[in-house]
Amino acid sequence: DALDRLASAIREADSTVALTGAGVSTASGIPDFRGEDGIWNAQFDPADFQVGRFRSDPAGFWEDRVKLHEAMFPGEIEPNAAHEALAELESQGWLDALITQNTDGLHGAAGSKELFELHGNAHRIVCMDCGRKIDAASVRERVREGESPPLCDCGGLLKPDVVLFGESLPEAIMAEAQRRARESDVFLAVGSSLTVEPAASLPKAGARDGLLAICNFDPTPHDDRTDVLVREDVTEVLPALVARLDA
Ligand code: OAD
């Protein structure tokens, strides 16, 4: 079956690289963006989270951002079986790099090491002036208490350390992710609609000389170039893949 094909391709590959999206974290209680109950479908408007909005109306941006954060991270969040399987694939030597669009920090929490967080990390805040990075929870608390927009000790404007719409990705991280994707023999895209550039182009680079596998509930724009397409739950498929590789 599809999983057997994928497992044997990974066994033969010099390099396997994975790209993840919000779908790997839905089982941890974090909604995705464009799936069935996605954040952008009903609750929030991506236009409110543009970098232009942050610049022109930082106070309004921050108040919406705190609400977005509460919707995205409703409680204590922990890695699930998908994060754990990806960390295990790496520790067993099957996975060389993990590229993620997620800002939830759950891959790091699960133990993934060779990790590229393309869209930053929502647990950190960065000062636009001095570049200092601080913990996000205390800053959100300050906004809830009425300090909006929140400012750094240096007087600079604070911004979530994530990539906003209209902002470019951290160049060095993206360049390295592209190189890893190009050089991979197997590229595994899981839990992402593959619609947000430039991350959405990585599967194309990955598929150039290698095998492309996609595991996602909803269709993606890359489905017709995919060698292995699995429309099942990532929290079941990834542990099953680990088991096949163990066998
Ligand atoms: P999306 O919400 O666009 O896609 C998540 C996909 O995961 C959907 O197509 C779902 O069908 C699928 N899915 C959800 N749970 C799943 C499960 N348990 N098993 C299999 N599939 C599942 O999220 P991303 O592709 O990550 O940008 O979105 C990309 C970027 O758009 C995000 O990084 C974010 C957003 O705006 C920034 O934060 C900059």
Across the chain, what does the average pLDDT equal?
A: 95
Compute the distance between CA of residue 5 and CA of residue 79 in angstroms, rounded to an integer.
Answer: 27
Tell me the average pLDDT across 183-199.
97
CA 73–ligand 1 middle distance (angstroms): 15
Tell me the average pLDDT across 157-172.
96
Pocket of ligand 1 (CB under 6 A): 21-23, 26-27, 32-35, 38, 101, 103, 119, 162-163, 191-193, 195-196, 216-218, 233-235
Report the pLDDT value the prediction gives residue 220, as an integer from 0 to 100.
97
Please determine, for residue 76, whether its predicted confidence score (pLDDT) is greater than 90. Answer: no
Catalytic site positions? 119
As for the ipTM of the complex, it is: 0.98
Which stretches of the chain are DSSP H helices? Answer: 2-12, 51-56, 58-72, 81-91, 106-110, 136-144, 171-183, 202-207, 234-246
Residue nearest atom 7 in ligand 1 by C-alpha distance: 23
CA 36–ligand 1 middle distance (angstroms): 10
Tell me the average pLDDT across 39-66.
94
Could you tell me the sign of the dihedral formed by the alpha carbons of 231, 232, 235, 241, in that order? negative
Confidence of residue 42 (pLDDT cuts 50, 70, 90): confident
Report the pLDDT value the prediction gives residue 218, as an integer from 0 to 100.
97
Report the pLDDT value the prediction gives residue 190, as an integer from 0 to 100.
98
Report the pLDDT value the prediction gives residue 36, as an integer from 0 to 100.
87
Please determine, for residue 24, whether its predicted confidence score (pLDDT) is greater than 80. Answer: yes
- For residues 154 and 127, the answer to whether their CB atoms sit within 8 Å is yes
Confidence of residue 41 (pLDDT cuts 50, 70, 90): confident
The pTM of this model reads 0.96
Residue nearest atom 36 in ligand 1 by C-alpha distance: 33
The owner of tokens 């194309």 is 204
74-78, 205-209, 236-240: lowest mean pLDDT where? 205-209
Pocket test residue of 19, 30, 32 for ligand 1, highest count of atoms within 8 A of CB: 32
CA 33–ligand 1 middle distance (angstroms): 6
Which tens digits make up the pLDDT trace of 2-11? 999 999 999 9
Residue from 213, 240, 238 nearest 227 by CA: 213
Report the pLDDT value the prediction gives residue 247, as an integer from 0 to 100.
81
Pocket test residue of 217, 231, 236 for ligand 1, highest count of atoms within 8 A of CB: 217
Confidence of residue 46 (pLDDT cuts 50, 70, 90): very high
Confidence of residue 37 (pLDDT cuts 50, 70, 90): confident
pLDDT above 90 covers a percentage of the chain that reads 94
Between residues 232 and 41, which one has the greater pLDDT? 232
Residue nearest atom 26 in ligand 1 by C-alpha distance: 21
Characterize 210-234 residue by residue with b for buried, 16 or more Cβ atoms within 10 angstroms of its Cβ, and e for exposed: bbbbbbbbbebebeeebbbbbeebb
